[in-house]
Structure formats: structure tokens, C-alpha cells
Chain A
């Protein structure tokens, strides 16, 4: 029988996280405040413990994973590396396709890879409770799970409409001992103000963030902190266990070279988790194509320039060096896209500027088509975000077929979509259509960046 899964023993879990910041040919540029000065640790201290802030700013290449964290991660890690043989057969490709199955964690995604160490470091710092926000509950359930493992209280401000309509992840949080509060709530000033004005509001992620942060900052005991599941450097760092395991597993599978690495790029953490250890190889001479994949209608990496940009039109929020569509983007026509999340994790942006990764964008119909093909070959129902990676994998496998090359393709299957089936329903019912941002609209949107400080886009030119 041909081998489908490559598994590692518990004692083969990586002992260190890999920090790409140490190896970037050009140093990572710090976020700037409205005054043009770098955001310092003191600004992060009210919400994050100092041991995580140290990781956030660290330029050490390898950071030891504490034994206790390893023990906790071993509940579901090392995650299996699968060979997607049935998809290969369906495509008739000579490529060998591998995927890291991150859906095996208790909450069903890659998110506990950082939730667990974050909870543990907070505990070590003397913190007794964590707060966070969540929409339908993906991150909230991961953090509740993590807090249950280390003995922290966890309070999750869940957007009210999700709290009311989507009980499953809320119940998961409660099963793990977390306290799930519908947001807005009466527990914070921010929530009280919203409820006073609009008692029937369904809430929003922005309100939930405000409540979670306020709940942490206003605790006079100093024993509460806030936790974030994407974008930040230490979040990406914790996710690198994915790629480090994958390298060991590929070696066990007898693969001497990886040709293509693929991950979907949202907040950046699941892409980074798989890709950063391979970027390290690329920096050291390996020939690997590395593709973060994003939606065509939100071309943050593929078409937006790299610049310092505010997060708001008023310019009150700190400047961050990132690929941005512009902070005052008003598309013409206004429905032309670009209003989506316009930032990307700074480490991912920096790797793109250097040419170490090659961003790609895919339209949503192609992604759902790929996800359905995946379900009908490999069996697993993919999260909507993961579908972007699958679309790129299929393209690369078909390209290998055309070229007659036995390429090795690795991607991150970041989570299952079993509680995201409404998206599939919309696809099956033909309610989705594609859209791509016009170049003219893009140029208009980015003109607002002209008067802001310019980050260095110097690169070595090696990639």
C-alpha cells in the first residue's frame, strides 16, 4: 500500500521556533507612531506581557520552545503531512502534492499553535486571565482551549450576532471553560455606550476589540492581558512549527527538494507558519517558489505598493510599513473593491519586497471550485480561506503536467470548514460572482500614500 500520511513521533516536535526576522536580508522596519517615531514596547505593555513583547521585537534566529509548551502542543502535534494522491490522480499530474493537516487540533485549525504558547507565556508572567474578541469563534475557541490547558481564565467578547446565531464555537469555548460574552456588553464602558445608543445592535468586530482591550487595560490588579491571533511577529513565530515539522516529514518521505510552497494569506499567520522555514532555505540558496495566495478582489500583496500607511483616515493610528491599498481609499466606482482589510503582517510584506515570496491572487469562484474538487478527491471539507491555497496548488500541479516535471508541491491545509458551510451553500446556489480591482482604481487609492514617510524598499536583488 502506498503511503498517504507521514507522521512524526512526539519527541520529534521542533524544539525551537524559527524567526525570519533574523535572516531577512534587509532588517524589518518598525511600526511608527503618528509622530513618526517607532512604536515601542511600552505602548504594547498594557495589552501584552513582556515575555511576548520580547519575542515580538526579537531578531534571534531560533527561540527555544519551553518544555511545558512542547508537552501541550503534543496533544495534537506533530500534525500529519499527507500526500494528496487522489488529487494527483484526478489531475493526472506528475507532481507530488503534500499538505500539512492543521485541522487535527482540537479547535480544528492552526490557531492553537500560537494560542497555547501565548497562554503559557502570560501565565509565566503572572497573568491570571486573558481577553480577546472573536467573530464566529475561530480564534475565541482556540484561545479558550489554550487557557484551559494552562489554567488561565479566558474571556471572549463575541460579536452579538454570532453569539446569538452560531452556538457551536461558543459552546466549544464554554466546554473549555472560557467565558463567552456577547458584545457589546454591559461589562465595559465601550459596550455600555453602544448599548445606550443602540440597544438592539448586532455588534461588530471593532466593538468587540474595544471591549476586549478595555477589559484588559482597565483591570486594576494588572493580572489581565489581551491576546491577538494574527498579524504580529510573535504570532507568526509560533506558527513556524508547521513548516519545521513539514521539512522533517518531507525528508522521511524521501523528498530531497521542495519546488513549490503555498499558503493562503489573510492575516499572514498560516502562510508564515509553513513558509518561513522554507524561506530560510531559499535565503541560503535553495531554489523554491513560495506563493502566498490572496483573493483577487483584495490584492494587498499582489498589486498594492509597499509604504508606511495609517490605519485610519484621520491619521490617528500608528504608521506601519506594509503593502497597502491606501488609508483613504475611496474606489471609483465605490463598489470596485479595496475596502477590505488592507494590511499584511510586516514580516510577510518584507519577504515580498525582497522577492523571497511571489504573491498570487485568485478569484473566489475558482477557489470554491478547487475546494469542491478537493472534497471529492481528498475528502476533507476546507475552510474558505484554505480554498485559496488549494486553487494555487491545482494550478501548479497542472503546470507541472504541462511541463512534464515531477515537482514537489507543499501547502498548508490550515483548517476544516465544517462550521463554514454557508459559504459553500452560496457557491452551490450560484450566488457568487468574481470581481477584480481595476488598475485605475488602484492608482487612485494609493495616491494618498504620497505624503507619508517612505519605508526603505532596498533589496539585495538576489531573488
Chain B
């Protein structure tokens, strides 16, 4: 179900909502949550906001199927992320 407020007011409709970000350890607004994976939102956006408003409707309204696919990829383990970054820095990965 598409969130009516989101549909009417666009992608910034929920930007003013605030919550504690478990990744950063500080309060953030939806305005942050929809940007860090630019053009995709944070991968935790569903977990963090489903209790507060219709985040599923918001995402399906404003993002493509492929973008939603990227969002729903789970976060890599920290060691895996680091080793991937090493490979990227050494030019082994693009």
C-alpha cells in the first residue's frame, strides 16, 4: 500500500522524522536514511522505519525494482567489507 503522504508530498515527505541510527550511533532523519547508498537508501531503512510509517509504500513509490533489490541486500560482515575494500584499493576490484 502506498503511503498517501509520501505520494502527495514526494520523496521528502518524511524527511523530518527522526530516530536513533544504529549504524552511526546518533539521531538522524529520514532525509539521511534515503541518501547514503546514493541513489539508494540505507540498507537498514526498512528495519528502522517500518514501525513509524509505511516505509514499504514509500520505497515502492520512489524507487525502482532494481534499486529496491540493492536496498534489500544484507550488510556484509565487517571483515568481509574490509577485505573487499582492500581488494578495491589495490585495484583488484572495480
Q: Which A residues contact B (CB, under 8 angstroms)?
A: 31, 39, 43-44, 46-47, 135-138, 159, 161-162, 165-166, 189-190, 194, 197-198, 201-207, 209-210, 213-214, 217-218, 226, 228, 230-232, 267, 297-298, 310-313, 316-318, 320, 322, 325-331, 333-343, 384, 420, 422-423, 425-426, 431-435
Residue numbers in B under 8 Å from A218 (CB-CB): 89
In the bound complex, do residue A209 and residue B44 qualify as a contact, i.e. CB atoms below 8 Å apart? no
Cα distance A162–B27 in the bound complex, in angstroms: 9
CB distance from A459 to the nearest CB of B (A): 23
In the bound complex, do residue A213 and residue B27 qualify as a contact, i.e. CB atoms below 8 Å apart? no
In the bound complex, do residue A317 and residue B76 qualify as a contact, i.e. CB atoms below 8 Å apart? yes
Contacts A327-B74, A334-B46: A135 and B38 contacting too (C-beta < 8 A)?
no
Contacts A43-B83, A198-B38, A340-B44: A231 and B88 contacting too (C-beta < 8 A)?
no
Q: Is B8 an interface residue (CB 8 A)?
A: no
In the bound complex, do residue A213 and residue B79 qualify as a contact, i.e. CB atoms below 8 Å apart? no
Residue numbers in A under 8 Å from B90 (CB-CB): 46, 217
For the complex, count residues of B whose C-beta is within 8 A of A: 49
Mark each residue of chain B from 37 to 77: 1 if its CB lies under 8 Å from any CB of chain A, else 0. 11000111011001110011001000000001101111111
5 chain-A/chain-B pairs, Cβ below 8 angstroms: A135-B21, A214-B89, A267-B78, A297-B47, A426-B18
Cα distance A331–B35 in the bound complex, in angstroms: 21
In the bound complex, do residue A426 and residue B19 qualify as a contact, i.e. CB atoms below 8 Å apart? yes
Mostly, the B contact residues are mixed
Partner of A342, one of B42, B51, B75, B88: B75
Residue numbers in B under 8 Å from A331 (CB-CB): 46, 72
Residue numbers in A under 8 Å from B9 (CB-CB): none
Residue numbers in B under 8 Å from A205 (CB-CB): 23-24
Partner of B73, one of A161, A201, A328, A333: A328
Residue numbers in B under 8 Å from A298 (CB-CB): 47
Q: Is B85 an interface residue (CB 8 A)?
A: yes
In the bound complex, do residue A201 and residue B47 qualify as a contact, i.e. CB atoms below 8 Å apart? no
Residue numbers in A under 8 Å from B22 (CB-CB): 340
Cα distance A356–B32 in the bound complex, in angstroms: 40
Q: A197-B38, A337-B47 are in contact. List 17 more A-B contacts (CB 8 A).
A: A39-B83, A47-B86, A162-B24, A165-B26, A213-B85, A218-B89, A230-B78, A232-B79, A298-B47, A330-B69, A331-B72, A335-B46, A335-B47, A339-B71, A422-B27, A426-B27, A433-B51
CB distance from B80 to the nearest CB of A (A): 3
In the bound complex, do residue A161 and residue B79 qualify as a contact, i.e. CB atoms below 8 Å apart? no
Cα distance A342–B71 in the bound complex, in angstroms: 15
Residue numbers in A under 8 Å from B36 (CB-CB): 201-204, 206-207
CB distance from B61 to the nearest CB of A (A): 13
In the bound complex, do residue A339 and residue B51 qualify as a contact, i.e. CB atoms below 8 Å apart? no
Q: Which single residue of chain A is at the shortest CB-CB distance from B52? A: A431
Residue numbers in A under 8 Å from B80 (CB-CB): 310-312, 317-318, 320, 343
Cα distance A225–B90 in the bound complex, in angstroms: 14
Cα distance A317–B75 in the bound complex, in angstroms: 11
Q: Is B16 an interface residue (CB 8 A)?
A: no
Cα distance A339–B73 in the bound complex, in angstroms: 7
Residue numbers in A under 8 Å from B76 (CB-CB): 310-312, 317, 343
Q: Which single residue of chain A is at the shortest CB-CB distance from B56? A: A335
In the bound complex, do residue A335 and residue B86 qualify as a contact, i.e. CB atoms below 8 Å apart? no
In the bound complex, do residue B86 and residue A312 qualify as a contact, i.e. CB atoms below 8 Å apart? no
In the bound complex, do residue A333 and residue B56 qualify as a contact, i.e. CB atoms below 8 Å apart? yes
Q: Which single residue of chain A is at the shortest CB-CB distance from B85? A: A213
Residue numbers in A under 8 Å from B4 (CB-CB): none
Cα distance A378–B79 in the bound complex, in angstroms: 37
CB distance from B64 to the nearest CB of A (A): 14
In the bound complex, do residue B86 and residue A339 qualify as a contact, i.e. CB atoms below 8 Å apart? no
Residue numbers in A under 8 Å from B35 (CB-CB): 201-202
Cα distance A138–B85 in the bound complex, in angstroms: 22
CB distance from A368 to the nearest CB of B (A): 10
In the bound complex, do residue A161 and residue B83 qualify as a contact, i.e. CB atoms below 8 Å apart? no
In the bound complex, do residue A46 and residue B50 qualify as a contact, i.e. CB atoms below 8 Å apart? no
Residue numbers in A under 8 Å from B77 (CB-CB): 231, 311, 317, 320, 322, 341-343
In the bound complex, do residue B38 and residue A209 qualify as a contact, i.e. CB atoms below 8 Å apart? no
Q: Is B84 an interface residue (CB 8 A)?
A: yes
Residue numbers in B under 8 Å from A136 (CB-CB): 24-26
